[in-house]
A and B are shown apart, each in its own frame.
Chain A
């Protein structure tokens, strides 16, 4: 550990400073490859801290109340008694999905209609434009409509709006509701009515998908747990759920932690790649300095002392790069609210936390040093004899001793620890690092395979500049491996995101031809069925599928009541599966989205053979722990219906079509109160819009899901999510470009010398340009090919194992990468080689002499 002592000697630092003259700019350029990675980590970490703080500060306004009690059925006397027992100030809300029409423009869309009474929100406020709209709405009625919905149809406050049978005025546009995110509002735009106005809309009918809530502000000193304790049993019996501000805060905290962890890992890829760039820069720097090291050793400098000189340079480089990273990180941090703002239910203020900045600085510096240390260690092997044997080009021999192994281990260990601290499960961190190393290894392998292939056969018939350009890829001092790593890793990360997103979106948008519905009508009452069918047909829209829907609950499984199962200590069935409402249907055949996987399908039911044979979806059968032949008793508004599991089905849930957990055979439920769903196919968006308009005019309670609208909404949400991810992935690409530039600059001297020699031997400028172009273009093309191959593999693995979807990638991103990456490489190569042709050959030869 003599080098530590040497570092404490001021002369070491003075010498390091002198020794870096005329190289400082270049060293800093090389060091900059790690700046972006450090910036990414600092930005994410600082943002996470600000976000956590914002969530803590705004915890109550995340819910707008201390406690929310919610149920699927309209609150009756029993529910009222429970709510009275809880006490405090209360507001009731009814949420429904319904069509909303703006008569001025004929704009029509499915929206989330909320009927509210009371003073909710108790914490935070309904943010509206104009600001007093919420107060006027409470006093005079009307509707508060999401600003995105108003913007979609060009509507504004003062315009008329029709919800169900109610025609009213938009009193203001809704900007923010405590607890809701903007992304959520995009997916399901909200329309607020007063409770008494919602009743006038007459939307609550049989089978309506409503949700009933009561927002509660507890008296001072009262906690949610204390308030709920005496009524828990009744709430369970009434199937009432609840959420508290603390729970919301915790859930949100977990979600935000996962998000920031994910972003940190993406940022870490940039840091790691930047580290590789630093290692390369130091390697080149050290290689250039070996002769100086030998001279210093001749003059009496010890091994530790010379090592300390260059270590001091690396320390300063790391400190400067980390400082620059901190500054850039602060700038990036200020951009996060714009990139991720739509997904955040709280307002995140920009703030600087010195402790976090210092921590980020430390992590960046440590990684910079760990990466720099490996090439620095080769200084120890530099023999003073090198000063005498300059002509023989004697370099330092490549030896791997225990310090190199220790440093490699430390680097891996630090990386794994970092990854583990940013994943929910420690093992995932190990997998992440494993994946990253595997990707690097694949790119490294590709580079070496390419060099081997080129060494064996570059077609002799090709023109000389082509052969020379390709041969440069494997000749001594080539940068092939580094360039493939730097270009390939960034491209791989971006392509993986792009391909996976594309596959998943296409899976959703897969039309599948004429038999797939694109407009789904629901909430059709039994007495409206024939009229709606006639209306659909008169609009020229084809009915693809019709399904009656009956809502039931589970009463017994294998002879045990749900209450007994819930009370048992070794219960293995989830509470939600036992308590949920099951929307069932009956039909005599499988639908297009279903496949029978076990048992027998019963197209009809013989009433003499009790119980009824039902078909269960595979997943729910697993959740309920039932199989073929097991008995399930359903409760249909007090009437029990015994059934037997006769078959299991696999259902393609991704298709927008009525799909069911439980399907009965005809002959069991026909007399029960059912509402209907119609899956139809309109030939054009215009036809679909006309159908929706005539439906709203005649059957205002019927809701319509327009698949094209769902998909465009989904697309905009996914695009926003991927923007956030791509924002981070961009750091990796930018780092890759910096590493590329650094690598090309380090080889510039060699390039100038080669060019001078070639020109002396008679090569024209055109030939030399072709050589350079061939080299860069083939490097870029290979990086694109290798990254595309890797990205296809990783996106397939993600789609197959994580999303369980079929993998049908679009080749557009791959083609784009194929064109873009060689282009960028060519431009960067060209930029870093500028002036190479202008150096007079004689100048170089004189230097050489």
Chain B
């Protein structure tokens, strides 16, 4: 029996109306992912990878098609409900880490819990920073951390609200090979232990190959599934 899909992407299309007509950046892409599974999205620049990631995470709205998480359609949610959805069920890791520079490492990790109104956000945030090996750097600001350390803080932040789906956009894009390897290992370990569905956008084919499924995009269309 196949596990019940956690993330279902159904014929997702995104078009933009421009001065020179309609531009289709994503066309009828479908896939699904179960809890604990990983999926990587690969393709050349401009192929629609980031657009697909954004649509799956409820950051943008599709022109047609639907995204369902745990069976709930994102299309029916208004802006505030989408924000709540991201706060409760989604985690993010970005290529450029996207830590808030005015907040310490600990405060950065606490933000998702605070947004949900969690009663004691400090405890879980400190635990996760300990897990990623940054217990002694929790009061440091992002500018005082190396790239690898920043990305580990970002991983801690992504997992702190126990998301159902984790979206990672080029998580190793700004890191050297050795650091990248450590970050990837950490990401996959945490993903497995927390039974999160991981969607990964990457140019790194070696990293992509580690995922359970690979979605290759070209010109906004899915061209091959591995």
Contact = CB atoms under 8 A, between A and B. Distances in A.
Interface of A: 2, 11, 14-15, 18-23, 291-292, 295-305, 383-385, 387-390
B87 interface: yes
A87 B142 CA distance: 89
A384 B59 CA distance: 6
A19 to B, nearest CB: 5
B116 to A, nearest CB: 7
A298 B59 contact: yes
A499 B180 CA distance: 70
A300 B50 contact: no
Interface in B144-179: 157, 161, 169
B206 to A, nearest CB: 22
Given A300-B84, A300-B112, A385-B54, A20 B79 contact: no
A14 B122 CA distance: 14
B7 to A, nearest CB: 17
A18 B103 contact: yes
B59 A388 contact: yes
Query: Nearest 9 pairs between A and B by C-beta?
Result: A300-B87, A302-B83, A21-B102, A384-B59, A300-B86, A295-B98, A302-B80, A300-B115, A385-B54
Given A298-B86, A299-B111, A387-B92, 7 more contacts: A11-B114, A11-B115, A291-B98, A296-B111, A299-B115, A300-B86, A383-B60
A300 B102 CA distance: 18
* Residue from B50, B88, B116 whose CB has the most chain A CB atoms within 10 Å: B50
A299 B102 contact: no
A19 B102 contact: yes
A299 B112 contact: yes
A18 B86 CA distance: 22
Contacts of B54: 384-385, 388
Contact of A385 (B59, B79, B96, B100): B59
A390 B170 CA distance: 13
A383 B83 CA distance: 11
19 contacts: A15-B111, A18-B103, A19-B103, A292-B100, A292-B102, A295-B100, A297-B86, A298-B57, A298-B59, A298-B86, A299-B112, A300-B86, A304-B80, A383-B60, A384-B54, A385-B60, A387-B98, A388-B53, A390-B95
B86 to A, nearest CB: 4
A401 to B, nearest CB: 14
Given A298-B57, A298-B86, A299-B87, A388 B115 contact: no
Interface of B: 50, 53-54, 57, 59-60, 79-80, 83-88, 90, 92, 94-96, 98, 100-103, 107, 111-112, 114-117, 157, 161, 169
A383 B80 CA distance: 13
Given A298-B92, A388-B59, A305 B115 contact: yes
A435 to B, nearest CB: 40
A673 to B, nearest CB: 91
Select the residue from B50, B53, B114, B116 with max chain A CB neighbours within 10 A.
B114
A70 B84 CA distance: 83
Contact of B94 (A14, A21, A301, A387): A387
Contact of B116 (A297, A300, A388): A300
A301 B59 contact: no
Nearest to A298: B92
B83 A19 contact: no
B59 A383 contact: yes
A23 B103 CA distance: 12
Given A296-B111, A302-B79, A390-B96, A18 B102 contact: yes
Contacts of B53: 388
A303 B80 CA distance: 7
Nearest to B91: A299
Contacts of A292: 100-102
Contacts of A14: 114
Nearest to B49: A388
Given A303-B80, A303-B83, A387-B94, A20 B115 contact: no
Given A22-B102, A305-B115, A388 B94 contact: yes
A20 B100 CA distance: 11
Nearest to A14: B114
B212 to A, nearest CB: 23
Contact of A389 (B50, B100, B112): B50
A19 B85 CA distance: 24
Given A22-B102, A300-B86, A388 B80 contact: no
Contacts of B79: 302-303
A302 to B, nearest CB: 4
Nearest to B112: A299
